[in-house]
């Protein structure tokens, strides 16, 4: 297989060299060129035809957002990973970039760290994203046997909580789903989006400004209520605990799971334990396997799990592996997820629910 051809764009000579050297250590990657600003980058794209671009957010002459807008006009299919600082300004610009069509992002290693630490961060955080985006999937799902569709007899029980997990492509996917949840939604929504601190708070604020339901970053001790959504804060696992008549949020900094903190598996396990069969899990676009084990816990407790389909996912790693494991009760394109979530929550609450909502739900097939 040919190496992935990468163009590195950053105004810092030090960062260009560090990033290029780190990427070239992987035999599957080839840094074919660098650029110090957006104008030079646009000229080199037409000359070098890269498979992927890493793009600094803050640059002179033509910054990352301006460059990205031009790249998307001229080369709409080239994956672009934004390379930003772990600051309020960097996080805000990164979220702007994702909304403009950036494929993913990575945070720059701290300037106070050693080169060896920086290279290791690039190896573990950035390189897997490059390979996932250029492969079109974080996993070789095509080589996995598809599950034999199974039927689960389900009574029209009441969903009492919706738990969502997402990673690569998740901010834009959440911006499609949460604003379409009705303001009188009958249950709480809890979300894990793989992001560092600062990013999750800004993401929650942006989603709140576009949604009918309140959206906020999760805080320890908050009681969940119907019609609200909470996003796990960066660098903290978020769980749900049943205490008396209430359910509340608990945060911890236990070891990462699936190299993630927050982790979808941690949240899904907790909602399965707290709510039993009354859980609807939703696994959306993302690389890796986070959410597979948690989905099994939800299903084992009698709950339901639905996933985003391959065609609409930026990376079909997380939802694809849930599907391959046979844990999906339905597979839906992104624009159908919010209506389907709402339908499943409502079906146990409608006084005269039609019998066709009492279902044998086939794996991979939405209920009719």
Which of the following is catalytic: 167, 211, 312, 359? 167
Count other C-beta atoms under 10 Å from residue 59's C-beta. Answer: 23
Rounded to 5 degrees, what are φ and ψ at 52?
A: -155, 150
Is 312 among the residues known to form the active site?
no
CA 358 to chain centre: 31
Question: Given 194, 297, 312, 329, which residue is catalytic?
Answer: 194
Q: Reply yes or no on whether 209 is catalytic.
A: no
Q: Whole-angstrom Cα distance, residue 89 to residue 139?
A: 33
Catalytic residue among 265, 290, 309, 329: 290
Residue 157: name the closest of 297, 365, 353, 347 by CA. Answer: 347
- The CA-to-CA distance between both ends of the chain, in Å, stands at 43
Distance between CA atoms of residues 141 and 146, nearest Å: 9
* Catalytic residue flag (residue 96): no
Q: How do strand 151-154 and strand 359-362 relate by DSSP bridges? A: antiparallel
Using CB atoms within 10 A of its CB, is residue 58 exposed (0-12), middle (13-18) or buried (19+)?
A: middle
Where in the sequence numbering do the catalytic residues fall? 167, 194, 290
């Amino acid at each position: 297989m040919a190496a992935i051809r990468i163009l590195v764009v950053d105004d810092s000579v030090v960062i260009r060299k560090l990033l290029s050297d780190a990427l070239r250590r992987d035999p599957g990657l080839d840094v074919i060129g660098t650029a110090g600003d957006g104008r030079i980058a646009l000229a080199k794209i037409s000359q070098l035809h890269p498979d992927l671009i890493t793009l600094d957010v803050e640059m002179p002459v033509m910054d990352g957002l301006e460059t990205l807008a031009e790249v998307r006009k001229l080369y709409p299919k080239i994956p672009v990973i934004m390379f930003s600082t772990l600051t309020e300004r960097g996080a805000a610009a990164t979220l702007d970039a994702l909304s403009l069509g950036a494929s993913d992002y990575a945070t720059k290693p701290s300037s106070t760290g050693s080169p060896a630490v920086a290279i290791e961060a690039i190896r573990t955080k950035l390189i897997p994203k490059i390979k996932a985006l250029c492969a079109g999937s974080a996993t070789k799902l095509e080589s996995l046997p598809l599950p034999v569709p199974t039927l689960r007899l389900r009574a029209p029980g009441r969903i009492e909580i919706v738990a969502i997990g997402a990673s690569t492509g998740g901010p834009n996917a959440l911006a499609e789903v949460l604003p379409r949840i009705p303001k009188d939604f009958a249950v709480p929504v809890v979300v894990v989006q793989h992001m560092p601190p600062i990013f999750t708070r800004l993401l929650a604020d942006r989603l709140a400004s576009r949604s009918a339901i309140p959206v906020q970053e999760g805080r320890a001790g908050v009681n969940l209520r119907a019609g609200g959504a909470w996003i796990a804060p960066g660098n903290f696992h978020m769980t749900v605990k049943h205490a008396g008549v209430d359910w509340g949020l608990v945060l911890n900094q236990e070891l990462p799971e699936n190299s993630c903190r927050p982790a979808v598996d941690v949240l899904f396990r907790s909602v399965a334990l707290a709510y039993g069969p009354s859980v609807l899990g939703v696994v959306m676009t993302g690389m890796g396997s986070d959410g597979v084990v948690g989905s099994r816990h939800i299903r084992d407790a009698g709950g339901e799990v639905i996933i985003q389909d391959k065609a609409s996912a930026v990376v079909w790693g997380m939802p694809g592996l849930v599907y391959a494991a046979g844990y999906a009760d339905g597979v839906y394109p992104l624009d159908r997820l919010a209506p389907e979530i709402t339908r499943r929550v409502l079906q146990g609450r409608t006084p005269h629910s039609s019998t066709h909502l009492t279902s044998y739900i086939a794996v991979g097939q939405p209920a009719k």
